[in-house]
Amino acid sequence: RPTVGVLALQGDVREHVAALTAAGARAVLVRRTTELEDVDALVLPGGESTTIEKLLRAFGMFAPVQGAVAAGMPALGSCAGMILLADRVLDATADQRTLGGLDITVRRNAFGRQVDSFEEDLHAPALGAGPGADPLHAVFIRAPWVEETGPDVEVLARTVAGTDADEHEAAGRIVAVRQGRLLATAFHPEIGHDPRVHAVFVDMVRDAQA
Ligand code: GLN
């Protein structure tokens, strides 16, 4: 069983622990740099990307986590975690920096300009939600979307219909990506008791160990 750390500075940590456990991993909390050495992979939870960044700096963890990801530690980021893994952020705060690693440009609070929160059923074969399987029920909370992807980035899911109010703007947006050992979703797979995204991630962790 791979050991997967959940960065536990801010955000929906417990939900990720539950989803990882359901997906067959041993989940542990990571609150300090030394704890990074005990994990095979790291989850960056949903929450508030600027707050998580500030806490990473306050605890001297920004460079170590950045280094671990750059050195090939598998990582899963949801929502704020996706922003933290993105190389470029639009609508960021003035001094916002990210850990980076994913060659993507995300727009922060992109869906949130229209509506704070919505849910949608996504078609995503690479996440176990292909033909013949149930769609992935995705929960979006002031979520970013991905505006640009580099050549090595695989697009795993896009929004379908968007929301009623701004169906057009929000439709067809990239909301799940993978690049090497990094997986990120604009929505919250840790909310809603569907472990398929975490199962894909745990498989990635096993492949990285093999
Ligand atoms: N809007 C938040 C941010 O910018 C992300 C929201 C979330 O993680 N649900 O970090």
Show the low-confidence residues of the chain (pLDDT under 70).
Answer: 112-115, 161-167
Write phi, then psi, for 112 (nearest 5 degrees): -65, -20
Torsion-angle region of 193 (φ positive above 0: left; ψ -120 to 50: alpha; else: beta): left
Contact assessment for residue 121 and residue 138, using Cβ atoms and an 8 Å cutoff: yes
Task: Specify the pLDDT at position 171.
Answer: 87
**Would you kindly state where each structural domain of the chain is located, as residue ranges?**
3-109+145-158+174-209
Query: What residue type is assigned to position 49 of the chain?
Result: S
Per-residue pLDDT, 104: 98
Predicted ipTM of the assembly: 0.95
Active site residue 190: yes
| Ligand 1 neighbour 49 (Cβ under 6 A) | yes
Atom 9 of ligand 1, residue of closest alpha carbon: 141
Beta bridge partners of 35: none
Residue 47 beta carbon below 6 angstroms from any ligand 1 atom:
yes
Q: Which CATH architecture has domain 3-109+145-158+174-209?
A: 3-Layer(aba) Sandwich (3.40)
- pLDDT computed for residue 156 by the predictor: 98
pLDDT the model gives residue 191: 96
The residue assigned the tokens 């992109």 is 110
* pLDDT of res. 6: 98
Residue 49 has a pLDDT of: 98
**Nearest partner of 185 among 115, 94, 120, 114, judged by Cα:** 120
- The response to whether residue 52 sits with its C-beta less than 6 Å from ligand 1 reads no
